[in-house]
Amino acid sequence: MRLLALLVLGFTVCGCCDPTVAAYDRLVKVKNFSLGGIGEGLELSPGERDFRVLLASGGREGAIFPKLYREGNDQAKMYALVAMHKLDTKHYFPLAAEMSAQNPIVATFFLCLEGGQPARELIEEINKEHFDWIFRVETWWR
């Protein structure tokens, strides 16, 4: 019985069962940056699903996204920049400038096209509010 209690306590303390922690851990090393449907069925990408979990779990206040930018790969940084552009402009502008200066090729997946885009091009799309539709769709985070 004590072992069971310790196991349950261990999972609770470490956050192993927390869907937000799991989503964050996956998003930090996400394979592709993709918002909108992908493939023939226009399904949500794994990265977008995790991004939405972070938004729904209080990430809408923006605190988690600077951390995602610092710890994530280039694709995760783009998700973080999309969120910060809308929710945390104080952090967005200097980090977007940093990413633009580095201008890595970001692995992307849009519709049925998997490829890569320079970060600078994606940041221009963020600045044009191309990805802001995700914040207008309110039903998914409730």
Q: Domain coordinates of the chain in residue numbers?
A: 18-141
Tokens linked to 136: 């207008």
Q: Check residue 12 and give its pLDDT.
A: 45
The 10s digit of each residue's pLDDT in 27-61 is 999 999 988 766 666 678 899 999 989 988 876 55
Of the ranges 41-55, 89-103, 122-136, the best mean pLDDT one: 89-103
| pTM given for the model | 0.80
Q: With a cut of 90, say whether residue 11 has pLDDT above it.
A: no
